[in-house]
């Protein structure tokens, strides 16, 4: 049901939250985004795009 586009949006949203809110942003991402992201069977799209700073 979720494809790569959705995974990219979720990964970007999580990264944006991290930039905007640091640890607080990460907490929001972990609560709101992570449960959805885990349903997407695609590896970190930011790693794939060379943008990832988390892995
Ligand atoms: Zn990554």
Tell how far the Cα of 12 is from the centroid of ligand 1, in angstroms.
Answer: 11
Six token digits for residue 16 = 């944006």
**Environment of ion ligand 1 (residues, CB < 5 A):** 44, 46-47, 52, 55
Tell how far the Cα of 47 is from the centroid of ligand 1, in angstroms.
Answer: 4
Beta-strand (E) ranges in 1-55?
none
**DSSP for residue 25:** H
pLDDT digits (tens, 9 = 90+) for 8-44: 999 999 999 999 999 999 999 999 999 999 999 999 9
The structure tokens 């970190």 sit at: 44
Global pTM? 0.89
Tell me which of 2 and 37 has the higher pLDDT: 37
Tell how far the Cα of 36 is from the centroid of ligand 1, in angstroms.
Answer: 16
Domain ranges, ordered by start, for the chain: 4-48
What lies within 8 Å, CB to CB, of 25 at 6+ separation is 16, 17, 18, 19
Q: Give me the pLDDT at residue 53, please.
A: 87
Cα–Cα dist 21/29, whole Å: 10
**Is the per-residue pLDDT at 1 higher than 80?**
no
């Amino acid at each position: 049901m979720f494809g790569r586009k959705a995974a990219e949006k979720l990964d970007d949203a999580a990264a944006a939250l991290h930039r905007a809110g640091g640890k607080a942003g990460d907490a929001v991402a972990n609560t709101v985004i992570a449960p959805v992201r885990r349903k997407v069977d695609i590896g970190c799209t930011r790693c794939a795009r060379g943008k990832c700073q988390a892995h």
